[in-house]
């Protein structure tokens, strides 16, 4: 199985990049992982709602260009459904095809991207930095594959 992670912005912090790399290395026994980085739209220091909407639209167009057609697509968004780790493992194992996760910028995802997805997923009612979300997502993907494989990682 291929797991794609489409994300807006890069990991500037070395510790985030190292954590993501570690989980992706562990995932190699279960799947292939491909990261697609979408450049974050530049905004003014105090952007208006219209400027934010335009930025989300521009980022969304670039995301849609990389969205694999036959993949099960999961948008990470605050209004999404919350799942337990075993439930996420079920989603992945029942996808019967590649899985693509999409992480937006700090302002989220465009409605066009959300409409193109099969599942809207929320990791919490709390707010996390979108760069930290890459680490959390990598860990949860690894945990899900560990659950599917009945490995000891998930307790």
- The number of residues making up the chain comes to 155
Which tens digits make up the pLDDT trace of 132-152?
999 999 999 999 999 999 998
Could you tell me the residue ranges of all domains in the chain?
2-41+50-148
Q: What is the mean pLDDT of residues 74-98?
A: 95
- In sequence order, what are the residues at sequence separation of 6 or more whose Cβ sits closer than 8 angstroms to the Cβ of residue 28? none
Sign of CA dihedral 46, 111, 2, 99: positive
Q: What is the mean pLDDT of residues 24-45?
A: 95
Distance CA 25, CA 124 (A): 26
CB 74 within 8 A of CB 117: yes
Q: What's residue 129's pLDDT?
A: 87
Which tens digits make up the pLDDT trace of 55-78?
999 999 999 999 988 999 999 999
Distance CA 134, CA 53 (A): 23
Select from 70, 90, 66, 84 the least CA-distant residue to 122. 84
Select from 32, 114, 31 the least CA-distant residue to 73. 114
Q: What's residue 69's pLDDT?
A: 86
* Per-residue pLDDT at 19 exceeds 80: yes
Rounded alpha-carbon distances, angstroms, from residue 17 to 21, 44, 115: 6, 26, 29
SS3 track for 71-127: CEEEEEEEEEEECCHHHHHHHHHHCCCCEEEEECECCECCHHHHHCCCEEEECCCCC
Please tell us whether the domain made up of 2-41+50-148 is placed in CATH 3.40.1280.10. Answer: yes
Which tens digits make up the pLDDT trace of 93-127?
999 789 999 999 989 999 999 999 999 999 999 98
Q: What's residue 110's pLDDT?
A: 97
Measured N-to-C along each axis, helices 130-148 and 14-27 cross at an angle, to the nearest 10 degrees, of 20
Q: What's residue 81's pLDDT?
A: 98
pLDDT class for 155, splitting at 50, 70, 90?
Answer: low
What's phi and psi for 59, nearest 5 deg?
Answer: -65, -40
pLDDT class for 90, splitting at 50, 70, 90?
Answer: very high
């Amino acid at each position: 199985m291929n797991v794609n992670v489409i994300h807006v912005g890069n990991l500037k912090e070395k510790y985030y990049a190292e954590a993501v790399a570690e989980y992706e290395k562990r995932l190699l026994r279960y799947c292939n992982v491909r990261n697609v980085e979408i450049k974050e739209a530049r905004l003014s220091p105090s952007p208006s709602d219209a400027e934010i909407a335009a930025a989300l639209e521009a980022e969304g167009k670039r995301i849609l260009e990389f969205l694999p057609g036959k993949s099960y697509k999961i948008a990470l968004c605050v209004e999404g459904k919350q799942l337990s780790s075993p439930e996420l493992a079920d989603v992945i194992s029942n996808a019967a095809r590649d899985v693509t996760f999409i992480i937006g910028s700090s302002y989220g995802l465009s409605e066009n991207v959300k409409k193109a997805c099969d599942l809207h997923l929320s990791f919490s009612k709390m707010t996390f930095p979108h760069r930290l979300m890459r680490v959390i997502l990598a860990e949860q993907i690894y945990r899900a594959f560990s659950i599917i494989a009945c490995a000891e990682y998930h307790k």
